[in-house]
């Protein structure tokens, strides 16, 4: 953890579940949240079509709702897209941007992620910008330089003023059950902090840095205790309320 930064545990539900299942999962998180929300911020990010169901189930509890993507455009003829103002109107507080699955499956570039982050900030949303290297890049010794480049290219100038979040997700660890060593995670988060401070000054010291990539109850406490790891972006484990809350408990100490 970074001293003075309140941890954030975010659940990325990806493309899973029905509206009924989303409401049930959100309600289960709500029921168990009281044990951790005194020390940790909780966030759930359901699919677009289930944002309302999840929000209704949370029912004004201290749990934020976010989305998994947004358009860089405010409105217009963009069939199938969802704008940041629409998400804000639906009750979202955060939006995940530049996830490796978006970068890989939809060809999203740093420039596009930056434009989306600008749109999110303009709509009053907190952007969670994802960065991370492939296995080939790590094996080539390029992991830190790749992530530094993504940070430079994906974060807009107003990022820290909007309390933006950066999530490090090594591409090869997402959904595989594999995680980097604790030393690797600590080294990457230290480099990320260095890049943020170099660009944004003191404000970069207060930016929350999340780790994502096969986070689970068995490894969360050790990962969350590392320097500059200020929370987690949780994928598969966030689909089980007990696991998600156990990860949050690891951040709460």
pLDDT tens for each residue of the chain, 253 residues long: 888 999 999 999 999 999 999 999 999 999 999 999 999 999 999 999 999 999 999 987 899 999 999 999 999 999 999 999 999 999 999 999 999 999 999 999 999 999 999 999 999 999 999 999 998 999 999 999 999 999 999 999 999 999 999 999 999 887 777 778 999 999 999 999 999 999 999 999 999 999 998 899 999 999 999 999 999 999 999 999 999 999 999 998 7
99 is catalytic: yes
The pLDDT assigned to 60 comes to 75
| CA pair distance 122, 72, nearest whole angstrom | 10
- Measured CA distances, 146 to 103, 128, 188 (Å): 14, 18, 11
The pLDDT assigned to 134 comes to 92
Report whether 212 contacts 169 (CB < 8 A).
Answer: yes
SS3 82: coil
16 annotated binding-site participant: no
12 annotated binding-site participant: yes
169 is catalytic: yes
235 annotated binding-site participant: yes
Residue from 50, 99, 189, 228 carrying the catalytic annotation: 99
13 annotated binding-site participant: yes
The pLDDT assigned to 61 comes to 82
Domains in the chain with CATH codes: 6-249 (3.20.20.70)
| CA pair distance 230, 5, nearest whole angstrom | 7
172 annotated binding-site participant: no
The pLDDT assigned to 250 comes to 93
Residue from 118, 133, 144, 169 carrying the catalytic annotation: 169
Long-range contacts of residues 87-92, Cβ cutoff 8 Å, at least 24 apart: 87/51, 87/123, 87/125, 88/123, 88/124, 88/125, 90/51, 90/52, 90/55, 91/51, 91/52, 91/55, 91/65, 92/51, 92/65, 92/66, 92/67, 92/125
Q: Angle, to 10 degrees, between the axis of helix 51-58 and the axis of helix 19-32?
A: 30
Strand spans (E) along the chain: 8-12, 41-45, 63-67, 94-97, 126-131, 165-168, 209-212, 231-234
The pLDDT assigned to 1 comes to 85
């Amino acid at each position: 953890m970074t001293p003075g930064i309140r941890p954030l545990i975010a659940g990325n539900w990806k493309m899973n579940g029905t509206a009924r299942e989303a409401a049930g999962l959100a309600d289960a998180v709500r029921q168990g949240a009281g044990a951790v929300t005194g020390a940790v911020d909780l966030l759930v990010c359901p699919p677009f079509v289930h944002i309302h169901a999840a929000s209704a189930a949370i029912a004004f509890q201290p749990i934020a709702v976010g989305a998994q993507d947004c358009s860089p455009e405010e409105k217009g003829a963009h069939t199938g897209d969802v704008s940041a103002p629409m998400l804000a109107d639906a009750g979202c507080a955060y939006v995940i941007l530049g996830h490796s699955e978006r970068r890989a499956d939809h060809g999203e570039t740093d420039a596009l992620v930056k434009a989306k982050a600008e749109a999110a900030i303009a709509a009053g949303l907190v952007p969670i910008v994802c960065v991370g290297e492939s296995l080939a890049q790590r094996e080539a010794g390029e992991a830190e330089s790749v992530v530094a480049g993504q940070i430079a290219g994906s974060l807009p100038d107003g990022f820290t003023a909007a309390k933006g979040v950066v999530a490090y997700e090594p591409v090869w660890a997402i959904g595989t059950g594999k995680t980097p060593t604790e030393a690797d995670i600590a080294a990457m988060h230290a480099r990320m902090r260095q890049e943020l401070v170099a660009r944004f000054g003191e404000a970069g010291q207060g930016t929350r840095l999340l780790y994502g990539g096969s986070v689970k109850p068995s490894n969360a406490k050790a990962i969350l205790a590392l320097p500059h790891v200020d929370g987690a972006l949780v994928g598969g484990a966030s689909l089980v309320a007990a696991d998600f809350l156990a990860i949050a408990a690891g951040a709460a100490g």
